[in-house]
Amino acid sequence: MNKLARTLVAPLAISAALFSSTALAADSQDLRIPESITINENMTLFDVSNSTVIGPSGYALAAPQKVTVIGVGSASSSDKYYVVDTWTGPKAINISNRDVTPIFNDFLLNKTVQINGVAALYNGPSYDTYSGASLSPQRVKVVGTNGSNYVQINTWMGPKWIDKRNVSE
């Protein structure tokens, strides 16, 4: 691999930016989002807009490497995509029939937890997706996790995310 290619295929940056689960296609909503994945083969990066895959970005990821997953992308095909934050911004990778190893950190998944204090509700697992609503202290069941910072719960407004620091078991 030449020097320019190694520069373009640099390790991925960790990001707090995530996509809203409301923008996902119905067929991708059942895809659990791992905290990270290990890619075991070279992969093309795809441009995304509001979690919708637009097309190839002109960049690729070199294997093997561990990358942080920040969401799920959707496309008109039945292929499944994870959205990752790269050195060129958020990009999607097609994981259908590909050699990837998901790494989950969902120890709170399906557990009932206590909301401590008033907790802001987010449309996605990121502070910049604030819904304008919040919940007072109560017990809720965790239905999704993003690995490290947020947990997903069902609310009167549909599935929403709360900062994991606001809950205890």
Domain holding 99, by residue range, is 3-103
Q: What is residue 157's DSSP assignment?
A: T
Number of structural domains the chain divides into: 2
Q: What is the pLDDT of residue 1?
A: 43
If asked whether residues 68 and 24 sit together in one domain, one would say yes
The three-class DSSP label of residue 79 is coil
DSSP string, 97-127: T--EEEE---TTTT-EEEE-S-EEEESSSSG
Write the pLDDT tens digit of every residue in 147-157. 667 889 999 99
The mean pLDDT of the chain is 76
If asked whether residues 140 and 157 sit together in one domain, one would say yes
Omega prior to 64 cis, within 30 of 0: yes
If asked whether residues 49 and 124 sit together in one domain, one would say no
Considering Cα of 49, then 54, then 59, then 65, what sign does the dihedral take?
positive
If asked whether residues 97 and 68 sit together in one domain, one would say yes
If asked whether residues 33 and 65 sit together in one domain, one would say yes
Strand-pair category, 89-94 with 158-163: unpaired
If asked whether residues 45 and 72 sit together in one domain, one would say yes
Averaged pLDDT for residues 135-144: 93
If asked whether residues 8 and 83 sit together in one domain, one would say yes
